[in-house]
Amino acid sequence: MFIGHFATAYAAKRLAPRVSLGTLFAAAQLSDLLWPCLVLAGVEHASVVPGDTAFTPLRFDSYPISHSLLAVAVWGAAFGALHFWRKRRSADALVLAGLVVSHWVLDFVTHRPDVPLWPGGPRLGLGLWNSVPATIAVELLMSVGGLWLALSATRARDRIGSWGFAFLAALLLLIYAANVTGPPPPGIEAVGWAGAIGGLLIWALAVWIDRHREPA
């Protein structure tokens, strides 16, 4: 799942309108921000195997630190605690912790049984990725709902807040379309670098745009 994770971050704006969209993105995508770094470091492992599922050529061989439920819960607690330490807003901290954990839940729905409960533990997955049309339908519906909630919770201060918000949503859809229709990546290192750099750029863009919006 790609834009589905961002959809949960958009939707969380309704619950935590004072939290930067960049922070919400970072929470919802924390597992996928950690994963490429761990893959490039040789700590976690994945392969490019076209046909492993109908939707993606990526096979996730081992990613207990970034994607096991136990680890994700720890990351979520740490993320929420850090935000509370900085902002002293317990409700927002709980939303962020929940967003981090939501990543595992959505991956459980989409992945084949490869998402671990804990490092070395049983692997689960409902396999939505075995159907391309169903995956696209679910993610697009989530995106529409998330964007609507974010728009209802915030308003633009200026043109950057308005047009930048639209540009970011369109950019995420374009990246998603390229992932769906494009050829398999040349190797897992390319995936790692693209994930690390792309995640950082999207986060920075979300932070910048959010500074031009305010709670409705």
Where in the chain are the domains? Answer: 3-215
pLDDT of residue 122: 98
Distance between CA atoms of residues 194 and 105, nearest Å:
24
pLDDT of residue 160: 96
Cβ contacts of 170 within 8 Å, gap of 6 or more: none
pLDDT of residue 139: 97
pLDDT of residue 79: 98
Closest to 59 measured CA to CA, from 140, 136, 14, 123? 123
pLDDT of residue 66: 98
Distance between CA atoms of residues 36 and 29, nearest Å:
12
- Residue ranges, the chain, pLDDT below 50: none
Q: Which residues pair with 45 in a beta bridge?
A: 62
Dihedral sign for Cα 126, 130, 134, 135, please: positive
pLDDT of residue 201: 96
pLDDT of residue 140: 96
pLDDT of residue 1: 78
CA distances from 170 to 19, 116, 144 (A): 22, 33, 12
